[in-house]
Structure 1
Amino acid sequence: MPSPTTSPDGTSDYKPMRRKLPVEQHMHISEVPMTWSNWHEHMNWFNITLGLLVPLLGLVSTFYVPLMTKTGLFAVFYYFNTGLGITAGYHRLWSHRSYQASFVLRLYLAAFGAGSVQGSARWWSREHRVHHRYTDTEKDPYSVRKGLMYSHMGWILTKQNPKKRGRTDISDLDQDPIIVWQHRHYYKIAIFMGFVLPISICGLGWHDWMGGIVYAGILRMFFFQQAHWLGEQPFDSKQSPRDHFITALITLGEGYHNFHHEFPSDYRNAIEWYQYDPTKWAIAGWKRIGLASHLQQFPRNEIEKGRVQQLQKKVDQKRSELDWGIPVSKLPVYEWQDYMQAVNSGQLLLAITGMVYDITDFTDKHPGGRALICSWIGKDATAVFHGGIYDHSNAAHNLLSGMRIAVLRGGGEVEIMKTKQPTECCAQPPGPHSTGVQ
């Protein structure tokens, strides 16, 4: 018989009831605390290489590769085309369906969008829809709640747990043959449109192969990636990112994200004539030549309502920082007799518009003089305060709010509430035909 194998407990008949697996094998690496021994497992090395190391090599190369004018102009031209692939294609067409595009236009946007090397249109649009649906929550793939650095670049440079990512419907994307084709062949298309084509144009066109690699290829791609990440992220705790002109300038109009998050299906990101949104202009131009249709716009009335509500929030926030006196809901309720009793005890009180005010510290500061204001102590001064003698300013109303001490039941001096009327006054006097018999 074969000799028994010695078990961990030193016996030969040891049989564990259940085989224990390391905790890490049950968990996604993103759930395991990062340490010096496992930090490299948290990294998405493909994205790090493409998004950091290659661009760093490109930046260093600028010291050795001169920038030719033709190459620089072409890099800007190609930047706009690949940028529109993202902003007009990935973002406004496929993520938000803000307009409809012809087959030719969709093919152009899918090809040049891949040239910006930000992932396939299917992947990008799915992530962006999740971002809008779960903004600032754990299911947001680039939530700002995880830190500013994470929301800008960390989410793309580290491995993400797919089970924790929010889900969204992309059935419409799976029915688009161009999206399916681009997603299936993304890496080939990205390499060709992102590097082979621009480098070949610079090399074959004016013999600037190295300039094509550095400026039209690497730096052009890197610049738009950084600009787009900057323009995409929310900056406050609510679901309303800030508008930013500089971001709009380098992301072809994507910087007006406060408007975009409020009205995501609008094909525009900027609605004012002075705001820079070349993506909007391009889509409108494509409509003119028949390449785009069904451009979605929110009614101007709804947009203005949103603007007014935002202004109201700011006003309310500022208002909450000021002293407006004791809230009316927290004031005691006085009967008219309570008011008169307080005045008779020596308090300097005024009744105005259903409120009782203590003017003790104000009588000597009254612009009309002490005698005038004191002549109305213990009375209802509503009429004289509101124009009977002088129609007081808004500042006077605000100053008065800090002096209120009570609410008057009935709203003011009500004769029937002041004293109880004798029952005899209501009896009919005996007439000439009265018998006098009770």
Structure 2
Amino acid sequence: MPPNNQTNDKLPDIIKSDENVKNEDKTDDKWKCLDHIIWTNVLYFIGLLLAAIYGAYLVFTDAKILTTLFGVFLYHISLFGITAGVHRLWSHRSYKAKLPFRIILAICNSISYQNSIYEWGRDHRVHHKFTETDADPVNSLRGFFFSHCGWLMCRKHPDVKRIGGKVDLSDMLADPVVYYQKEYYMPSVVVLCFVMPTLIPWYLWSETLWNAFFVCVMLRYMAGINSTWLVNSAAHMYGYKPYDVNIAPVENISISALTLGEGYHNFHHTFPWDYSTSEWGWNINLTTFILDQLAKIGWVYDRRFVTKDMIEKRKARTGPKADKYIPHEHEY
């Protein structure tokens, strides 16, 4: 693995915990998400799920193999727009990227249809500031379903809205790629997430528009968002904690395989500025592999990473041995 070119032992200001914000105007602890359900969103996601199930049926009964492979390809590039783009580049500023690559990442992000770079980054920065509190948009203490997708089916907790408006996002809007993607987000989604994946199979290998839509749009889209959701749910519940036993996020290799390297979550929440989100380099981390290759041609630079010495010191201070931690049976 090629050497990286920058280390940093400090969190960027945008992801440091702000105790003054956290403690001011404390909201009533009796707030219940079930009292704030948005039923149109519930019906929307039920409809998406049924359409994806039908798309899976078509994969095995009618769709051409090229259509299925194209759907798999779109799944990976859409997730790459999340992992390398809005997550590691824009939310955490863990590396820098030249303009052509940033444009590509924005296109991939629009294909994924998981909110604009600006909105996704805002929620993610709040998530890191206030993980597992009422101010966390995907608070896993509310249960697996809520942190997986339920948070999108109810109104945000007042703490999320109050604190989300105070997160500094000026660095994002200073990037013209983020600014223009935010301004034209929905047209870009219509073209890149829905129209393009439907027309390409129809035009290039005579697939039906019906099959192309349900396989390459609906099934692929639901697979992509569920993989991302697993990082908020399962990766905060099922796994092991070698770096910090005092936080909920865990290491989950299966989720890393599904999400191109985002399942090393105990590491990521312990060292959120590391561009690889893992100390293991390319091991089950396709995003890191691609970023390292792009660094060779100069499209990626100033990659931030944690030194081995920092990792060992942190493990000695907050890891399992420091806390006399005994793993549960389901952990590995």
Please say whether Structure 1 and Structure 2 have the same fold, judged by a TM-score greater than 0.5.
Answer: yes
Judging by fraction of residues, say which structure has more helix: 2
Structure-to-structure mapping, 1:88-107, within 5 angstroms = 88-107=84-103
Distance 1:44 1:173 in 2: 32
- Alignment-derived partner of residue 199 in structure 1: 198
- 1:360 maps to which residue? none
Q: Which amino acid aligns with 2:87?
A: H
**Could you tell me how far 1:239 is from its partner in structure 2?**
2.5
CA distance in 2, matches of 1:160, 1:127: 11
The whole-number CA distance in structure 1 between the counterparts of 2:159 and 2:307 is 38
Check conservation: 1:232, 1:254, Cα contact below 8 A.
Answer: no
Divergent runs of 4+, >4 A: 30-34, 161-164
Taking only the aligned residue pairs, the percentage that are identical comes to 29
Query: Counterpart in 2 of 1:311?
Result: 320
Contact 1:141–1:155 (Cα < 8 Å) also in 2: yes
The residue type paired with residue 203 of structure 2 is L
Task: Confirm or deny that 1:190 pairs with 2:189.
Answer: yes
Q: Mean alpha-carbon deviation: is it higher for 91-100 or for 58-67?
A: 58-67
Secondary structure at the aligned position of 1:180 is classed as: helix
CA shift, 1:33, in A, is 8.3
The residue number in structure 2 matching 1:265 is 273
- Tell me by how many angstroms 1:299 deviates: 1.1
1:287 aligns to 2:274 (yes or no): no
Deviation sequence 1:208-253 (CA, Å, 0-9, x none):
1223211211111110111111113422894341111111111111
Equivalent position SS for 1:311: coil
Deviates more, 1:55-64 or 1:110-119: 55-64
Aligned residue number for residue 239 of structure 1: 247
Show the counterpart of 2:77.
81
1:59: Cα distance to partner? Answer: 1.1
What amino acid does structure 2 have at the position aligned with 1:228? T
Q: How does 1:39-438 map to 2 (within 5 A)?
A: 42-43=37-38, 45-46=40-41, 48-49=43-44, 51-64=45-58, 66-161=62-157, 164-165=160-161, 166-167=163-164, 168-208=167-207, 209-233=209-233, 234-235=236-237, 238-272=246-280, 275-309=283-317, 310-314=319-323, 316-317=324-325
In the TM superposition, what whole-angstrom CA distance separates every residue of 1:314-359 from its partner, at most 9, and x where no partner exists?
5x245xxxxxxxxxxxxxxxxxxxxxxxxxxxxxxxxxxxxxxxxx
Extract unaligned runs of 5+ from structure 1.
1-29, 319-438
Measure, in 2, the Cα distance between the counterparts of 1:226 and 1:297. Answer: 28
CA distance in 2, matches of 1:136, 1:245: 22
CA contact (8 A) 1:48 1:157 kept: no
Kindly indicate whether structure 1 or structure 2 has the higher relative contact order, using CA contacts under 8 Å at least 6 residues apart: 2
Structure-2 separation of matches of 1:96 and 1:197: 30
SS of the residue corresponding to residue 308 of structure 1 reads helix
| Residue 306 of structure 1: how far off its partner (Å) | 2.2
Number of equivalenced pairs: 283
Q: Which SS does the other structure have where 1:63 is aligned?
A: helix
1:312 corresponds to which letter in structure 2? K
SS of 1:312's partner is coil
Task: In structure 2, give the amino acid aligned to 1:69.
Answer: I
* TM-score of the aligned structures, taking structure 2 as reference length: 0.79
Given that 2:132 and 2:139 are in contact with CA atoms closer than 8 Å, whether structure 1 keeps it comes out as yes
Contact 1:44/1:159, CA 8 A, preserved across alignment: no
CA offsets, 1:35-79, max 9 Å, x none? xxxx7x731625751x43123123124435523211121111111
Deviation at 1:303, TM superposition (A): 1.1
TM-score (norm 1): 0.60
Distance in 1, Cα, partners of 2:268 & 2:139: 17
Bigger radius of gyration? 1
